[in-house]
Amino acid sequence: MKDDERSLPEGDANSGLSRRQFLTTVGTGAAAAMLARYGIQLPAQAAETKPNIILILADDLGYGELGCQGFTKDIPTPNIDSITRNGVRFTDGHVSCPVCAPTRAGLMTGRYQERFGLELNPGPPQSASPNFGLIKTETTIAERLKPLGYTTGMFGKWHLGYTAGLQPPDRGFDEFFGFLAGAHDYLNPLLDSPNPIMRGREKVDEKEYLTDALAREASAFIERHKGEPFFCYLPFNAVHAPLQAPQKYLDRFTSIQDNQRRTFAAMLSAMDDGIGKVLAKVREHRLEERTLVIFLSDNGGPTRQTSSGNGPLSGFKGQVLEGGTRVAFMMQWKGQLPAGKVLNDPVISLDIHPTVFAAAGGTLPADAKLDGVNLLPSLKGESKQPPHDRLFWRYGQQWAVRMGEWKLLNLGAGQAPQLYNLKQDLGEKRDLATEKVDKAKELQTVYDGWAAQLPPAPTQGRGTRRAGARAGNRAGNRAGRRNRANAPAPAAAP
* Positions marked catalytic: 100, 159
**Closest listed residue to residue 61, CA positions, set 302, 337, 357:** 302
C-alpha angle with apex 69: 184 to 382, nearest 5 degrees?
Answer: 105
Q: How many residues does the chain have?
A: 494
Q: Are 388 and 407 within 8 A, CB to CB?
A: no
Residue 485 burial (CB count, 10 A): 8
Q: d(Cα 379, Cα 381) in Å, to the nearest integer?
A: 6
Residue 241 burial (CB count, 10 A): 25
Per-residue 3-state assignment (H helix, E strand, C coil) for the chain: CCHHHCCCCCCCCCCCCCHHHHHHHHCHHHHHHHHHCCCCCCCHHHHCCCCEEEEEEECCCCCCCCHHHCCCCCCCCHHHHHHHHCCEEECCEECCCCCHHHHHHHHHHCCCHHHHCCCCCCCCCCCCCCCCECCCCCCCHHHHHHHHCCEEEEEEECCCECCCCCCHHHCCCCEEEEECCCCCCCCCHHHHCCCCCEECCEECCCCCCHHHHHHHHHHHHHHHCCCCCEEEEEECCCCCCCCCCCHHHHHHHCCCCCHHHHHHHHHHHHHHHHHHHHHHHHHHCCCHHHEEEEEEECCCCCHHHHCCCCCCCCCCCCCCCHHHHECCEEEECCCCCCCCEEECCCEEHHHHHHHHHHHCCCCCCCCCCCCCCCCHHHHCCCCCCCCCCCEEEEECCEEEEEECCEEEEECCCCCCCEEEECCCCCCCCCCCCCCCHHHHHHHHHHHHHHHCCCCCCCCCCCCCHHHHHHHHCHHHHHHHHHHHHHCCCCCCCC
Per-residue buried b or exposed e for 273-283, using 16+ beta carbons within 10 Å of the residue's own CB: bbbbebbebbe
C-alpha angle with apex 16: 14 to 22, nearest 5 degrees?
Answer: 55
